[in-house]
Amino acid sequence: MSEAPQTAPTQPDAQPDVQPEAAPDVQPAAAPPDAAQLESPVELDTAVPPVEALVDCPVCGTATAAGEAFCESCGADLGRGTPLAEDAPDPEAAPIELTARSAPAGPARAPGVLVVVPDLDGRAATCASCGGTVAADGYCEQCGTPAPRPRDHFVEQPAPWMGAVCDRGRRHARNEDAMAVAARAEPGSWAAVVVCDGVSSAPESDVASLAASRAARDVLSAPESVPPITADELLTRAAAAANDAATRVAVGVKGPNPPSCTFVAALVESGRAVVAWIGDSRAYWFPDGGTPVQVSTDDSWAAEAMAHGLSREEAEKLPQAHAITRWLGADSPEGPPRTVTVDVSAPGWLLVCSDGLWNYCSAPEDLGALLTATQARVGAEPVALAEALTTWANEQGGHDNITTALVRCG
């Protein structure tokens, strides 16, 4: 994802049973973008420059040999000078409990709402490669293999009828995706899913995405306000809380591009799902016996190109197809998220995901066919199914972080 000129949001191509809610008042784009126009000061996947012989690590100063991708001393990515270990946020800059070693009590929840807060700081004490002891720096004392980081792959499943998986993928040094979910135990009763995808070109976006997703989840799962508000209003508050959380992470971060991320959230209750989004993380609805639907519409140049007549295949191959026009963070455009309501009373799956999954299978009919085939192979348990879809994305190349969240409806 990259920063791009602010452009008017577009409407979904075709959404049976989907009714758009109050879109922000914006001016339409004057002309369809072409390849020459799709330029951005920020690139999603900048090429990693080669590492020369005996170059000092830009983070800790240790000399490194030619061909090394990561510093053996501090674990920094030598192409970008970014430490592999997650930097602890300044408590003044981001006064949010992001990854506590023991799960905090947390904010008040509505009656019956269940939340899982995984420990994303802990590391294994024993090396999985040789059985040696893992030192405090995260590397095995015997063979030097880095211990897996919980942030690289984690699962949340507060209730058996839904589940979510977040994975680093194969090409990124960090997992800049994040998710936070909540649910009541009774199938189909109530669930909230939030997925945020950190912008790779901005520092600390992994911290921003985690802070944003948890802040939004806490708003959605809080006790009902008095007087009650609509689901659309609640999702708008959740997006605002997510934006505030991502913005606080930016305090003290140097550079022209502050931490930022996308946002998509779904609130499922009583046979309907209300979806809100900013950016290009998506929600899909796959009824067992009906037409697959892409519920959200990306805030991106590719979506704008499609709105001006390009096919999905043409638009998603444009040089700046993933340049987003809206995001969360200190430099984010103003305005609430767009919201859409979809009937999910029939049996089916609501999928909320980052582009690490849909990059390889964008069209709803194609992604629906993949979901059906995967379910036939691994079964309908939500976490197992989400893990299988995530594995499939990694097998296609895993060039981005991957988040797959599934809610069984109907």
Domains recognised in the chain with CATH numbers: 2-46+157-409 (3.60.40.10), 121-148 (no CATH)
**pLDDT by residue, tens only, the chain of 410 residues:** 433 334 333 333 434 343 444 433 333 333 444 434 333 333 333 333 333 334 555 545 555 555 555 555 445 555 533 333 333 333 333 333 333 334 445 789 999 999 999 989 877 788 888 989 999 888 899 998 888 899 999 999 999 999 999 999 999 999 999 999 999 999 999 999 999 999 998 999 999 999 999 999 999 999 998 899 999 999 999 999 999 999 999 998 888 899 999 999 999 999 999 999 999 999 999 999 999 999 999 998 788 888 888 888 888 777 777 789 999 999 999 999 999 999 999 999 999 999 999 999 999 999 999 999 999 999 999 999 999 999 999 999 999 999 999 999 99
- CB atoms under 10 Å from CB of 23, counted, come to 17
SS3 121: coil
Phi, psi of 377 (to 5 degrees): -90, -40
Under a CB-based contact definition with an 8 Å cutoff, are residues 279 and 262 in contact?
A: yes
Amino acid, single-letter form, for residue 124: A
Q: Where does 312-363 have alpha helices with state H?
A: 312-315, 355-358
Write the CB contacts of 259 (distance below 8 Å, at least 6 apart in sequence): 198, 199, 202, 203, 204, 205, 207, 208, 246, 249, 250, 253, 329, 330
